[in-house]
Amino acid sequence: MCGIVAYIGNKEAYPILIKGLERLEYRGYDSAGVAILESEIKVFKRAGKVQELKDYASGHNTAGNIGIGHTRWATHGEPNERNAHPHSSSDSNIAIIHNGIIENYAPLKEELKKRGHEFLSDTDTEVLVHLIEDVQKNNNVDLFEAVRIALNEVTGAYAIVVLSKDNPNQLIGARKGSPLVVGMGNEEFFIASDATPIIEYTKNVVYLDDEEIALIDRYNGLSIKTIANQIKTPYVHELEMQLEMLEKGGYEHFMLKEIYEQPRSIYDSMRGRIDSKRGDIYMGGMLEYKNVLTNADRIIITACGTSWHAALVAEYLFEDLARVPVEVEYASEFRYRNPIINPGDVVIAISQSGETADTLAAIELAKQKGATVFGVCNVVGASIPRATHAGAYTHAGPEIGVASTKAFTAQVTVLIQMALWLAYNKGAINQAKLARYLVELEAIPAKVEEALKSAEEVEKMAKIIARSENALYLGRGYNFPVALEGALKLKEISYIHAEGYPAAEMKHGPIALIDENMPVVVLATKNSQYDKMVSNIQEVKARKGKVFAIVTKGDVEVKAMADRWIEIPDCPEELSPLVSSIPLQLLSYHVALLRDCNVDQPRNLAKSVTVE
């Protein structure tokens, strides 16, 4: 949520900042701006996408070796040019970019106004840059100290970078609750919200921790202090990410590329963890906490959005296979409702980005109450894997499309392995049964490959659904969370109102919506509830609803009732969400294309939700 990039070195800053903003655009695309220091600070900003900024800046002098850039997801103030970052101090000598929310900005603003500060925007960020200016002038301190003192006065979340005319060889970055990473190049430095704008130039990065302030001096390098003035030693990580992972690789959209990457990303999420021949499963993070896990009376799983749907799949898995009670919680509700968590409870937090503010807060709460917290996260080094006791990475690779696809199936792949590990270690399944599941799991990437071949048939379905303003998605058992996820995908990228429901629940209300205009997508694969699902489909047909069915290869009964259908390969019901979610992802993609929607950057959304 909001992308930050900054550069200091020997090169021209502007092209690096623009390229960085394009890579970060998935984090927010309401407005974009850069500030570059030559002899003065030059600020260029525009409402809308990075392209608007590029078009505007092309006729101007953008020269300079130090600069900051920002792509915004609006919180305070409309997404217009006035509110776009960077924001400047009264004397225009300091510029700032910010990701997060300064919660006490209103009283600070009032106080600063009384002291003569005038504000040009509606943002909380502008208050922060004026505060830094005010502190520096009144306390006669250097910029770093002014930033440190100012940050002690604000509450809320921030990742910031500060540029000052009077400090032409320095950049200052700080974080609390929003991510910030420093790239250590050869006589050049980068600061960014994540590693995507940096990877092209260096693999050596330092992740800042909460309440840390980094001073980057072009000639003296990086030094870090906390806002409480403690000196910290930077720890340099080596990135494993490859540049190609951040590019479209011939696909029209990142989302399509990521859908088609799934055979590989699912495989990567189990690689090195399972041995089907021996019937063995290795989960490093879980092994360390074997006693806690096998003795847990219950497991709480918390997440948001698509990751919450993966949590629902996990509820079925853990209860079914490991026979341990599971509760699934929206992180945003869990953190505020004084939940009962006891020492000995296990909490699993799921997040693609590893930065979701509500999920992070839920983790902190669970830790305070004595739970052992596991993370299932995709982004290596993000805040969530660093805040949890242990966990497992999903290895899906960078997900750039705002609608989550390969991250979901990678999460489910890891959760299946966690459930199997626990089931085996608790004695709920024996080694022979574990081995059979592992053989089936190994077969999944090929089945996903086959499911991807349904694209032609999906396009035909999409043509009908694209004309509708509503859709229902129905499933039972393991297919119920898949129905929720299918509906979310459709609404977020094609803006069609879609609801996911447990199929049997339909008759308790939503059935009133069904008429000849209502497309009903049914997940009717061969599983333990197939016959029940057939009855539910009949209920839809009886009300003239249009049935679009996902069925198992060779199906006869549902096909005979459906208006259109897509076949997917057979697989054990516990693993089926990995395959049945594929045609639904493709369906939402094609519907969005037909409706001329921006598939990778749907309106109002951002990839990484770092505000609550």
Q: Which residues are catalytic?
A: 2, 607
Which residues have C-beta within 8 Å of that of residue 339, sequence separation ≥ 6?
Answer: 300, 329, 365
* Alpha-carbon distances of 406 from 5, 267, 283, 310, 400, rounded to whole Å: 26, 11, 21, 12, 10
- Number of residue whose CB is nearest ligand F6R: 305
The answer to whether 36 contacts ligand F6R (rule: CB under 6 A) is no
Query: At closest approach, how far in Å is the CB of 439 from ligand F6R?
Result: 30
> Applying CB under 6 A, which of residues 3, 305, 500, 577 lies at the interface with ligand F6R?
305
The answer to whether 609 contacts ligand F6R (rule: CB under 6 A) is yes
Query: At closest approach, how far in Å is the CB of 24 from ligand F6R?
Result: 15
The answer to whether 359 contacts ligand F6R (rule: CB under 6 A) is yes
Site for ligand F6R in 503-562 (CB under 6 A): none
Query: At closest approach, how far in Å is the CB of 99 from ligand F6R?
Result: 15
Q: What element of type H or E holds 113?
A: helix 105-114
Query: At closest approach, how far in Å is the CB of 386 from ligand F6R?
Result: 14
The answer to whether 99 contacts ligand F6R (rule: CB under 6 A) is no
> Applying CB under 6 A, which of residues 307, 417, 576, 588 lies at the interface with ligand F6R?
307
* Alpha-carbon distances of 431 from 330, 412, 435, 439, 576, rounded to whole Å: 34, 22, 6, 12, 22
The answer to whether 425 contacts ligand F6R (rule: CB under 6 A) is no
The answer to whether 349 contacts ligand F6R (rule: CB under 6 A) is no
> Applying CB under 6 A, which of residues 195, 304, 366, 518 lies at the interface with ligand F6R?
304
Query: At closest approach, how far in Å is the CB of 262 from ligand F6R?
Result: 14
Q: Which two tokens stand for residue 231?
A: 């000196």
> Applying CB under 6 A, which of residues 352, 394, 580, 585 lies at the interface with ligand F6R?
352
DSSP SS3 for 51: helix
Ordered strands of the 156-164 beta sheet: 87-88, 94-102, 156-164, 170-176, 212-217, 221-226, 231-232
Query: At closest approach, how far in Å is the CB of 381 from ligand F6R?
Result: 14
The residue (of 208 and 609) whose beta carbon lies closer to ligand F6R is: 609
Query: At closest approach, how far in Å is the CB of 185 from ligand F6R?
Result: 28
Q: In sequence order, what DSSP letters do the residues of 520-558 get, joined into one string?
A: EEEEE-SSTTHHHHHHHHHHHHHTTPEEEEEEETT--HH
The residue (of 83 and 307) whose beta carbon lies closer to ligand F6R is: 307
Q: What element of type H or E holds 435?
A: helix 431-442
Q: Are 472 and 520 in contact (CB under 8 A)?
A: yes
Query: For every residue of 120-165, which 3-state class applies, written as one string?
Result: CCCCHHHHHHHHHHHHHHHHCCCHHHHHHHHHHHCCEEEEEEEEEC
Site for ligand F6R in 482-501 (CB under 6 A): 488, 492
Length of the chain: 612
Cα–Cα–Cα angle for 299, 305, 307, rounded to 5 degrees:
50
The answer to whether 268 contacts ligand F6R (rule: CB under 6 A) is no
What is the spatial distance between Cα 359 and Cα 343, in angstroms, rounded to a whole number?
19
Q: Which stretch binds ligand F6R (CB under 6 A): 78-86, 160-168, 301-309, 549-557?
A: 301-309
User: Count of CB atoms within 10 A of residue 36's CB?
Assistant: 28
The residue (of 26 and 144) whose beta carbon lies closer to ligand F6R is: 26
What region does 209 belong to: left with phi over 0, alpha with psi -120 to 50, or beta?
Answer: beta
DSSP SS3 for 82: coil
The residue (of 459 and 612) whose beta carbon lies closer to ligand F6R is: 612
User: Count of CB atoms within 10 A of residue 140's CB?
Assistant: 9
> Applying CB under 6 A, which of residues 356, 413, 417, 527 lies at the interface with ligand F6R?
356
Q: Which two tokens stand for residue 17?
A: 């900042």
The residue (of 136 and 196) whose beta carbon lies closer to ligand F6R is: 196
Contact track, ligand F6R, 387-406, x by CB under 6 A:
----------------xx--
Q: Which two tokens stand for residue 185?
A: 């190049």
What is the spatial distance between Cα 137 and Cα 146, in angstroms, rounded to a whole number?
9
Question: Under rule CB under 6 A, how many of the chain's residues touch ligand F6R?
Answer: 14
The residue (of 305 and 481) whose beta carbon lies closer to ligand F6R is: 305
Query: At closest approach, how far in Å is the CB of 219 from ligand F6R?
Result: 38
The answer to whether 351 contacts ligand F6R (rule: CB under 6 A) is yes
Q: Are 245 and 396 in contact (CB under 8 A)?
A: no
Q: Which stretch binds ligand F6R (CB under 6 A): 137-145, 152-160, 271-279, 349-357?
A: 349-357
> Applying CB under 6 A, which of residues 262, 306, 332, 581 lies at the interface with ligand F6R?
306
The answer to whether 302 contacts ligand F6R (rule: CB under 6 A) is no
Query: At closest approach, how far in Å is the CB of 382 from ligand F6R?
Result: 9
The answer to whether 180 contacts ligand F6R (rule: CB under 6 A) is no
Interface positions with ligand F6R (CB under 6 A): 304-307, 351-353, 356, 359, 403-404, 488, 492, 609
